[in-house]
Structure 1
Amino acid sequence: MSTPVSVSVSVSLNGGRTAADGGAVPLSPPDVVESALGAVAAGAGEVLVHPRTPCGRESLSPRVVGPLLEAVRGAGVSVPLSVSAGIGAEPDPAGRLERVRSWTVLPDRAVVHFAEPGAEELAEALLARSVAVDAVVPLGGEGAGPGAVEPEPGALARFLAWPVRDPARIRLAVELAVELAVADPALVAGLRWLPPVPLLLFGRESAAWPVLRLAARCGAGARIGVGDVLHLPDGRAARSNAELVSAALEVVGTQSAVTAWSR
């Protein structure tokens, strides 16, 4: 019998959600800290947050990002912290570069959407500041989450054309549509040969849980959280990120064990 595959689960705390999406979405710094602590206690190996101003708007300002990161780390969250550096926080590519270069407190990782203009330059600026990069590439459907804009075509081609000079600090984060989430794991095997970087799979809304199961079967990294999905596998509304992470780890354990037994 083989040992079940170990899959790391990261948590997307709030994504592009707003207060209209319900009380499970942490928006203020105190709520983000509480949610991060709960998610890590439940087993999350990484935390992704979309920082916000007091009025709830996403922001990459150092006056917003820095204090939030310090609050989360100061509360005792020791896992890697990621920040989304997307168009939802700053529409202008030059503005995003300026913001990133002005950060006084750095996250461990940053999410760069290769379906957005200026992705390559933004990724290079982050790497130059020793911030690891999650290069997000949507496959199938629109690949756009809550509050996102219509993605440009060819995101995967853009990533493949971008020279990967430091594979240890770059991860390919593939956002799968629901029709691909139930595909044969050969899909993931095909992705693995692309660049020699780690692979993370995630989906949004109806694709979230099927993609997580696929990630578990293939041994890829996985992501869950109210930033991606508001319901549990059985359809019930999730009360917190911690509840989603706990459910995700149960799914991962079940899928990994099934995969191991089938070998």
Structure 2
Amino acid sequence: MSGARGGLRDGLRGALLQVALNGSRGAAEGAAVPLSPGDLARSALEAVAAGAGEVLVHPRTPCGRESLSPRVVGPLLEEMRGAGVRVPLTVPAGVAAEPDPAGRLERVRSWTVLPDRAVVPFAEPGAAELGRALLARGVAVDAVVPLGGGAGPEPLARFLAWAPPERGRVRLVAELAEADPALVAGLRWLPPVPVVLYGREAAAWPVLRLAARCGAGARIGVAQVLRLPDGRPARSNAELVAAAREVREAEGAGPAGGGATATAGSR
């Protein structure tokens, strides 16, 4: 039994699989990237049918710019829910959608249709206040903290200093630069919040395997990677989710989907 499997399963438990539908991708990056609200809804339905338990979607204006405007976020969420997407929906609330911290607060406070969760990058300014504003509106928070690859300790320190009063509605989402078990080992000593791990591009599949060995939740989708584990181009988010299920089951994580997410701090 590997050190990751033996040491971390004591503190990280769960099998959540979240699909990230689009991220910062555009039309130039291939047909696998859904663009319109209708395409995003269809992609979400297919990914859920393939085994995803949650959906992360980046709302965009008609010209393709990420946005937190209620005129963009609300119609997209309504399109997806109206199409039959019944799993939790998450949207990002970061610099890419609104560079100004005060502007981000204003935007989320003006939402008329609420997502189930929102992503708050703790490497960006104003994260703690934004997280509190989201919780006050009834929106759960995915606190993103980068680990490795030159990321310093500040984002994790900001998260620890935040100490939200409603930890049951907060997750720690660790973006790993590489699939190094040492990057994850310390998470079991953190406050008892659920944990999701993910990587990007070349790190995406190795980190997903590490998440399975650790018993952590995971994220996959064209926002993270455009190729399958064997290097073939992915044709859809559903194909990536199906491949992720196979990888996780091979690593002994059990079926993917919306099971209990891994928890840091429990031993």
What's the TM-score once normalised by structure 2's chain length?
A: 0.87
Cα deviation 1:51-82 (Å, max 9, x = unaligned): 00111110000010001001101111110000
**Paired residues of 1:13 and 1:241 also in contact (CA < 8 A):** yes
Q: How many residues align?
A: 243
Provide the rounded CA distance (Å) in 2 between the counterparts of 1:257 and 1:33.
28
SS in 2 for 1:27: coil
Cα deviation 1:10-54 (Å, max 9, x = unaligned): 000001111221111112101111110110110100000000011
- Structural RMSD (CA): 1.7
2:245 alignment partner AA: L
Provide the rounded CA distance (Å) in 2 between the counterparts of 1:84 and 1:39.
19
**Pair 1:88 & 2:96 matched:** yes
Provide the rounded CA distance (Å) in 2 between the counterparts of 1:257 and 1:138.
23
2:258 corresponds to: none
Provide the rounded CA distance (Å) in 2 between the counterparts of 1:122 and 1:257.
33
2:202 alignment partner AA: S
Identity among equivalent pairs (%): 74
Question: Unaligned regions of 5+ residues in structure 2, if any?
Answer: 1-8, 255-267
SS in 2 for 1:98: helix
1:251 corresponds to: 247
1:166 alignment partner AA: E
2:166 corresponds to: 166
Identify which of 181, 193, 196 aligns with 2:192: 196
**Pair 1:230 & 2:238 matched:** no
Shift of 1:7: 1.4
**Pair 1:211 & 2:211 matched:** no
Indicate the larger mover: 217-226 or 186-195: 186-195
Identify which of 36, 42, 67 aligns with 2:44: 36
Identify which of 121, 130, 138 aligns with 1:130: 138
2:61 alignment partner AA: T
Moved over 6 A (4+): none
**Paired residues of 2:105 and 2:133 also in contact (CA < 8 A):** yes
2:108 corresponds to: 100
Indicate the larger mover: 215-224 or 134-143: 134-143
Provide the rounded CA distance (Å) in 1 between the counterparts of 2:105 and 2:236.
33
What's the TM-score once normalised by structure 1's chain length?
A: 0.89
Provide the rounded CA distance (Å) in 1 between the counterparts of 2:68 and 2:150.
25
**Paired residues of 1:83 and 1:109 also in contact (CA < 8 A):** yes
* Cα distance change on mapping 1:73 and 1:122 into 2, 3 Å: same
1:55 corresponds to: 63
* Cα distance change on mapping 1:22 and 1:142 into 2, 3 Å: farther
**Paired residues of 2:14 and 2:217 also in contact (CA < 8 A):** no
Provide the rounded CA distance (Å) in 2 between the counterparts of 1:164 and 1:219.
24
Shift of 1:142: 5.4
Shift of 1:257: 6.2
2:30 corresponds to: 22
**Paired residues of 1:6 and 1:256 also in contact (CA < 8 A):** no
